[in-house]
Chain A
Amino acid sequence: MSDKPTMIEFRDVHKYYGDYHALRGINGQIRAGEFFSLLGPSGCGKTTLLRTIAGFEGIDSGAVLIDGKDMARVPANERPTNMVFQSYAIFPHMSVGENVGFGLRRDPRSKAEKAKAVEEALEMVGLKGYGGRAAHALSGGQRQRVALARALILKPKVLLLDEPLSALDKKMREHMQVELIKLQRQVGITFVLVTHDQEEALVMSDRIAVMFEGEIAQLADPETLYRRPNSKKVAEFIGTMNFIPAQVISETGGQIEIEAKGLGRATLPADQCPAGRGDAPMVGLRPETLTLLYPGQTATDRSVDGVIDEVIYFGDMTYYDVYLGGTDVEVRLSMRNTPGRPILEVGSKVDVAWSPSALVLFR
């Protein structure tokens, strides 16, 4: 994975809109052939950053490199990138085929060869035979496929996608997520996807840059982001995490001993303790790393007693909110509803298994 060459590199990129500092020193690399996502809340600068790759936004300082070349003087129409716009930007006065073949106007190939390329591109996105249709009469999902075919027909080095799925309904969106992953594997082109949907990013990406307020907070693969978020903010943005007040007891050679309210003492290795930010210490743990112990079960690592405060039934899963060890610390844990696991009632006394290896210390 990590031996793939770099396709896009950001070097301390800054961008202002008037007084507004939209990109505040972006650094990072996107590797050739990977599915990369820019994830963050609305207004954090994802689209702006994507548009600096496409060449639609200039930057005020720093550099954007594509395939080792500084793009400062390369206009959008000469960059080896193509974009799928959030609105899809299908040309309404053209047929589907004319839309898809638009980028081939300067291609020296013969008419017949171009027509074949268009047909192949349409087939790739599952729109075989749609070439003659009027573009303005397509459904949302079809428009998106046309936009994809139109961008991919030029075989760009990088395909840029700005929230391509946000206009689709949930079912269609999940379907297209899988389609996009397959398509990316098939063509092997570097995909850069902008999304505000953390689930979408986790499902689709090889690596993700989480952005807040014009900065990349963390750039990592989905599992690292989920299991080892480097800040409370990232942890809160991705999935659900319980935060428990804690104290740092001692620090020796990378090992940090903490005492967490309701859980007790634990020693954490350095990789579970991202750099401090001067906040009050907290440990975070995901709901699925906590397990309710049913009669006859024992914890493989540590356990703590508690009282169920809330039961939320989801069909395949049940979420329990539990007060830990006679304290006011409440955690949420999730249990898969398998046979032999009755749903417990509010007020039940339970034992909760946990493991120090699932903790992350934020401070």
Chain B
Amino acid sequence: MIATILGIFGARASTRYSFPGKGGLIGLIMLPLVLPEIIVALSLLVVLLAIAVPLSLYTVILGHVLITTPFAVAILSSAFQSLDKSLEEAAYDLGEGPVSTFRLIILPLVAPGIISSLLICFTISLDEFIIAYFLAGADTVLSSYIYSQFRFPAKVPAMLALGTILVLVSIVLLSIAEFFRRRGIAKTGGKDTGGFL
């Protein structure tokens, strides 16, 4: 959720404006994508401990925002890029201000990208284990909960069932996300420039 909102701003900024250090900044945002998750989790843990933030669900959210933002930025950048700049100008030209132009023209046209970004970020976050395991502290997160329950043989069948459900939910969500992304592109008449599936 948060990642997507950040992603909207990030992608919008990165496709429309150029500013010094833009390449570096985008690189930094994208960094968690290429780093092994365990490194992200560990380094985050070290930092959090160093500044003495108690581990809780909030720190898990922070970690998840960090690793899902790159996905959101990537998906939304492609959505913003396939948007013809003259559509915005046409709205100005016809008398609208910047805010109503964003609401009436830009938002509806990148909506499929936003939905697909939301779904993908949610899926990633749902299945994520390492960060949840390291940063949750005393709070319970679904993925680490499953892991902890495996220690009790009696609970294994139930956990296997839960795992299967998770896999299915993930597949369904990702398919829906891809569907929205493709439909958005078809509707705006743009070219398909990459994607995750």
A residues in contact (CB < 8 Å) with B: 54, 56, 75-78, 81-83, 85-87, 89, 91-93, 102-103, 105-106, 136, 150-151, 154
B187 adjacent to A91 (CB under 8 Å): no
A136 adjacent to B94 (CB under 8 Å): no
B187 adjacent to A83 (CB under 8 Å): no
Evaluate whether A56 and B94 lie within 8 angstroms (CB atoms) in the complex, with A87-B84, A91-B105, A93-B108 already known: no
Cα(A78)–Cα(B93), bound, Å: 8
Interface of chain B: mostly helix, strand, loop or mixed: helix
Cα(A276)–Cα(B96), bound, Å: 49
B86 adjacent to A92 (CB under 8 Å): no
| Mask: chain B, 88-107; 1 = CB below 8 Å from A; 0 = not | 01111111110000000100
B109 CB–A CB distance under 8 Å: yes
Return chain A residues, CB-CB under 8 Å to B93. Answer: 54, 56, 76-77, 81-83, 151
Cα(A85)–Cα(B92), bound, Å: 13
Cα(A77)–Cα(B87), bound, Å: 14
Smallest distance from the beta carbon of A74 to chain B beta carbons, Å? 12
A105 adjacent to B95 (CB under 8 Å): yes
- Name which residue of chain A comes closest to B95, CB basis: A77
Return chain B residues, CB-CB under 8 Å to A102. Answer: 91, 94
- Among candidates A89, A136, A151, residue contacting B89 with C-beta atoms closer than 8 Å: A89
Question: 22 A-B Cβ contacts within 8 A?
Answer: A54-B89, A75-B92, A76-B93, A77-B94, A77-B95, A77-B96, A83-B89, A85-B86, A89-B89, A91-B87, A91-B91, A91-B105, A92-B187, A92-B188, A93-B188, A102-B91, A105-B96, A106-B95, A136-B187, A136-B188, A136-B189, A150-B90
The 3 lowest CB-CB distance pairs between A and B, nearest first, are A103-B94, A89-B90, A89-B86
Cα(A102)–Cα(B92), bound, Å: 11
B94 adjacent to A82 (CB under 8 Å): yes
Return chain A residues, CB-CB under 8 Å to B109. Answer: 92-93
- Name which residue of chain B comes closest to A83, CB basis: B93
Interface members, chain B 91-131 (any A CB < 8 Å): 91-97, 105, 108-109
